[in-house]
Structure 1
């Protein structure tokens, strides 16, 4: 793992010469440079990630009042979620450690039948009527403000939830095809400050009786418990708590081989990893993957410039390497919660077009540096970093995520830029095999995705060995022009504004075919996916 840290030092040194290459990612200073040349390695897979690499979260704040869980029965939200599979759905966040299962002894739905026909009818029956959906959406806007105030004051109200909420959550995941991960409350403690599992066992027993297939987490950002709840839990104890939960799951007929993920620590600060180190000493054997959280900036004092600053984007590499070198080899590492800005996001930025630069670069860099899954905060919930707006219509980062799912496969390849140095802003490039589940492309196709954080258009010349490949280009730009373009909440794909056709139908995401040998034109302040259809990469067949 020491070599990873050395590599980061080398990267910093290279940056002084205006050129930076980190595996599949390449950063180039191009303020005055209009053209770059790229070399692509089509013969070696650098890494492989989980097919559910891009996953999503529902913030547990949705459960602050149980009625809002009914929003998960929206046909529109189901349509949007289903389009992102395969993916995990994490239900968790700060509020999970202030929630308690309070069964009422009533069942929301009849016991599920496993046949797809019956399941399909159940999903139809659970759909939310339009009048109720509209009322809940209006009330949720007010609820979000209340939750934001709670976050600002750091005073978190305790919440109880019933079987009804669990049924709604599971139905959403199941009807959408997402793999549910449920976050349990770790702040239920005994007098000896060990985890009190009584309430979790009650919930597990209920889910087991319903045959709900799901995985589990315990606690959210335990390093902030003292600040949020006046309770301190050290890493060694937290590890023992996970071992305790693992033993409970082992004894379950339904959950004995289920996933258990944790400890969901926030990102390392000032090189302190004490809690994670202690946790791994006692709890590593209990977890399926090690999870941590990452945000680039504080949502309350960030700026547009931060979202376009390559130095801000590069801080992720340092954080990843710090975490990965802490975790024993062979144990998978996940970004268990992540977005642009912490504190609920940055108002006017985290839900606009400019947020896509942080999101797409994070996906590229995380895959390249060995993270197996990245869970986006949040599909729906409080804050301003969500993928859908108050009307449940998709925001720019949703469309970006959808294109990523469609075009990018789990095999990470390497791209390198060949050019002279320049003074300022970067282009960032990543290369993967094309998603093989996309029947539109032949085996051996590769997908190059690129970000232009500069206002000037840049031309990309591909190597000679790919010159005969037809290219399909998917260029995403703001739907607005002028100074306000980066603040837009709409996005264009190859010049066409992306909108749902109706509540159950997404538009076709069509690329623009470029003739073989044509250089790629990446407009200023844009990102793009380029599928090299006839690349014939041996490792992608």
Structure 2
């Protein structure tokens, strides 16, 4: 049959189009992971309090903490002009706003925290390093005693103990290490620590774990005496361990609680490397603690380590949590082999978080971080904070849950302590745990960080699906299966209703997160 040049071109184009279509179809099939929840092998376990949170010491005492970018209409006036004494050394006062002490008896706060139980509540932070614990029920001294920047009254600490009990949380804290907590020769004294522990026990409370100090890599900012170095830390840490072993043998000794070595902060004045701290302090820790922030927030402009909303879903940003973990895991292996690892402070960015830390955009980091660190056998991840500044799980004045709170609630209800190996798959971040409280059941956490492309996942069994999404990634509201999550009229938590997905391919929409539970997985690791 004769063929014109025109028809030949059409045939050629048709062949090319068909070939491209077949190629795309094959690529789609290759990129669609097929996961059988019944066969996922066990990687290990995490502590039942794996997902925990911080309440900063300055929240308990009242004082100046990171100022939110948007002032709430219900926020108290900024009384910071006469309260600059309790901000970290060298900090800019205009980065902070005064806060009255947090009301830990608030019914909404207690109920929302209790929904995340069991957990650890870590009451520490930079401010704890220089906070004086009042030795009696008398009116606390004003101003603080010489060598301290703030005062923790017995009443306020009793509030922490009562809150922890009501919220199903165990207390983690750290010691005062500033000049006021030292003798004439500059050595750390245990009397402040002894008063704190003795009072806690006298009112029926318990401190489960303690770090010697908050972030000893940044001693100058943290309130340590001028010229404080690794040798001084090693001497003081040994005294702290001796005090704990003698007086509080059931308390878990955490350390060193370092921060900054995977950022640019180590170049700052007074920075002490973790290696030097560990070499000087010797053995003594029961768990290796560290802190992680992938960047410094916009408040700290001019300091290296910034990030942007455009980078918030990038692999480079999300994997920073693994890079920090790998750095400290190496030191743990060298100086404290076999000890569990605790991430005792983390959030979107240091210095109170960026504006988008309060939005759904940060939920990808929050859940991806939990998934990565559980897979790496980190035992505790304590988010900073429960309810202060832009990175709080709750808005600090209204206590309205932010997107990360709803993500935390779903994790608590669906992801158990046994971690499974879901593999590594192109186009989707996938994590798996035995489901909390359901024998044989498995929960998959599927995170699609692509803003434009739908990810696919193939399951051989029916699943119950909980999809988190938002119309605007930088919204402070989030939807579950298309319905906005919000508290009821009496602060009741909404029903977290799933939708059923039949066996086969499941679509994970662009920039969405899905928990998928398979009740009849019958995974032997989950019995």
Could you state the TM-score of these two structures normalised by the residue count of structure 2? 0.77
290, 310, 319: which one aligns with 1:314: 319
Tell me the residue number matched to 1:360. Answer: 367
**Which deviates the most, 304-313 or 350-359?**
304-313
- 1:96 maps to 2:94: no
444, 447, 472: which one aligns with 2:443: 447
- Distance change in 2, residues 1:225/1:55 (3 Å): same
- 1:530 maps to 2:516: yes
- 1:56 maps to 2:53: yes
- 1:489 maps to 2:497: no
- 1:498 maps to 2:500: no
- Distance change in 2, residues 1:474/1:232 (3 Å): farther
Q: CA deviation at 1:417?
A: 5.3
Tell me the residue number matched to 1:14. Answer: none
Counterpart Cα distance in 1 of 2:249 and 2:222: 32
- 1:77 maps to 2:98: no
5+ long unaligned stretches in structure 2: 1-26, 64-98, 141-146, 299-305
Counterpart Cα distance in 1 of 2:368 and 2:227: 35
Q: CA deviation at 1:531?
A: 0.7
Counterpart Cα distance in 2 of 1:472 and 1:221: 42
Could you state the TM-score of these two structures normalised by the residue count of structure 1? 0.76
213, 218, 229: which one aligns with 1:234: 229
Q: CA deviation at 1:283?
A: 4.0
Aligned residue for 1:380, secondary structure, equals coil
Q: CA deviation at 1:104?
A: 3.6
**Aligned residues of 1:69 and 1:169 also touching (Cα < 8 A):** no
Counterpart Cα distance in 2 of 1:157 and 1:238: 18
Tell me the residue number matched to 2:343. Answer: 335
463, 466, 471: which one aligns with 1:471: 463
Counterpart Cα distance in 2 of 1:499 and 1:270: 36
201, 215, 220: which one aligns with 2:214: 220
Counterpart Cα distance in 2 of 1:243 and 1:355: 39
Aligned residue for 1:344, secondary structure, equals coil
- Distance change in 2, residues 1:500/1:233 (3 Å): same
* Pairing of 1:378-527 with structure 2 (within 5 A): 378-381=385-388, 383-389=389-395, 390-416=397-423, 426-435=427-436, 437=437, 441=438, 443-462=439-458, 467=460, 469-478=461-470, 481=471, 485-515=472-502, 517-527=503-513
- Distance change in 2, residues 1:520/1:258 (3 Å): same
Q: CA deviation at 1:239?
A: 3.7
- Distance change in 2, residues 1:307/1:329 (3 Å): same
- 1:170 maps to 2:172: no
Q: CA deviation at 1:456?
A: 2.9
Tell me the residue number matched to 1:323. Answer: 328
244, 251, 263: which one aligns with 2:246: 251
Tell me the residue number matched to 2:291. Answer: 293
- 1:158 maps to 2:152: no
Q: What is the RMSD computed on CA atoms of the aligned residues?
A: 2.7
Counterpart Cα distance in 2 of 1:236 and 1:536: 54
Q: CA deviation at 1:496?
A: 0.9
Counterpart Cα distance in 1 of 2:428 and 2:109: 34
275, 278, 299: which one aligns with 1:277: 275
5+ long unaligned stretches in structure 1: 1-31, 109-155, 420-425
**Aligned residues of 1:185 and 1:219 also touching (Cα < 8 A):** yes
**Aligned residues of 1:220 and 1:264 also touching (Cα < 8 A):** yes
Cα deviation, 1:119-167, whole Å, max 9, x if unaligned, reads xxxxxxxxxxxxxxxxxxxxxxxxxxxxxxxxxxxxx981112111111
Instruction: Report the number of matched residues.
Output: 439
Q: Which has the larger radius of gyration?
A: 2
82, 99, 118: which one aligns with 1:86: 118
Counterpart Cα distance in 1 of 2:100 and 2:488: 25
